[in-house]
Structure 1
């Protein structure tokens, strides 16, 4: 969440930067709400000072033996001031709520390093890695998986409806192998601490990490009025919120966390896009990366995390490219985002497999995460997140890029210790 004072100080610059991502900042409306809050707080302070003086007058009058009528009059005035204070405090709460409601809807200020534009067509390619597989007539992962019997979309639909999947036998093993490989890579080589986190979180947690109120329609809500909980859309949410309302020792930064969780997304408005196979499901699993650092280190930390996500694809030997997203195409929380896109032979194009985002101080401010060094100097904290990697999309890429003309799939060598087999054969057996 933004600091209203900072946005007002930036003025037209804030309007320009937010305009790059398609958000029209109403400076006059923001200033009006900010002024309302300031006036309300000032009124409370004045009334409290007056109430303090009135209480002193009551005490003085009582001790001096003043007539009871005078004392009663002073007491009545004190009571009236207390009622006015209560009403003024309610106005402060209302003013603060109105200002907060507005600030919660304002997206992060984009970095000047994000190119102009509002769609994926405006992304700037940074690099391409790996050779594209030479396949005469590549099959897609759905055809390969169903022919082998390792993916079953029909029974998934019977269980849960559209856009769910069932992995069977070697397919389930491959999913688990990918997750274990990624976690081993990130914890062993890249220095991340692994967490097992809840899949249900509170609305406060969702709000602090920027999922609410913006993306309420894209989430799954559960629970009752007494216990209102939300299914996580990504492990970014609980991993980032671990330190909500905490002051972290500056010397302990940066921190690097990872977790393998299911992710749940209703993705309202996305129907008709990438709905075939396992590219866009309502439930999928993903290994997530989160980094927490000093605000001034976020640029370097983003490059570091991007390298960690890329390492997954490099180890698997999969062809991919990296693009820098346009300002108008980035997520609500991000100030700068790199997308990693893996090659899908069946589509003849690169498709997103990971987004690595620098959120700056945006999430930390919303969640109340701060830092303090040994000398007591307080600092601002930045948060970053990225996929490292989603299991379903990686599985799709492995099936498609590693397929042979006979319908078999030879797995990347790094996965063999985790699967116990090297090849998926057309008849669903392994060797």
Structure 2
């Protein structure tokens, strides 16, 4: 049974909790806002370490384009402060609450621990690419600052990049330092209508090759298009191409992009309000937020392979899908079964990629491979790193473990 959560309010208190847990080999579930608690394999832990009281922005000078914050700081507070200064997180982190049905507040530590990124990741990079520094508590209860201390057996490894995407299995993030950028003056989205999945992949590839700086590219097949913007889009597939920047520049680039896309189909421009809304809905996978009992996969493949994967799956099972990242990120909602072996078999045939089971019932997540298997050599290295940083194996045990 789980005990009442521990809620340290300082880095020193976090370290004391971890040191005590390590001394008794007590496993800990590391929790920020709890909004992604239902992702990954079920954590095998008796005690929850809740970081929600360890919150607050610790350093921010807008002129330097850098912010530091305690890990439990709500993402909303980070974004509000940046917005007041005309700045933003470039990687556009997804809010998982709609598809998971969770509540609470996403935290900045959770964003980086899960390496959460949205549509602009295509050109701006992932969350880890914005992360400049970390402070964390290792499995011995020691406070570590990236770059300021060399740890035995992991010399030469980038601890900042290791912590991003580790899902709390390497250490307890206590503070993160990250870069930010000015918000674009103008955003415009060109909507190309009527393309099937293969045609959309070709159109997006052509758009990304143009010297017009498309920042995001997504395709919404006819099966999902009426679930965006409250059904205001045409009842036919649409391909979305986003331009951002100075107003005059966007105006010129928009005309060049529209001229080039005329070879693929009719196009129109969304207004600023519609543009902001539709990219939020793409980011948060809103078409698949209604039927939460259906398994949901996040698949990363080569942009040219995304539509081929969906076509192969549709011949063999019930699936709904849409595409982000120029077709390289495929969101798959399965009709009934999780179909993990089938999905990974087709991914391998198409040249490889990564599949993460974002949503499924807990018994299912306990029995299948939720995250992508690491190659043997990389898996052995990961095990050595975890042994060096968390020798007692107390952090989020089981969350990223291979299926039995």
Normalised TM-score (structure 2): 0.20
Specify the structure having the higher radius of gyration (Cα): 1
Higher share of residues assigned helix: 1
Normalised TM-score (structure 1): 0.19
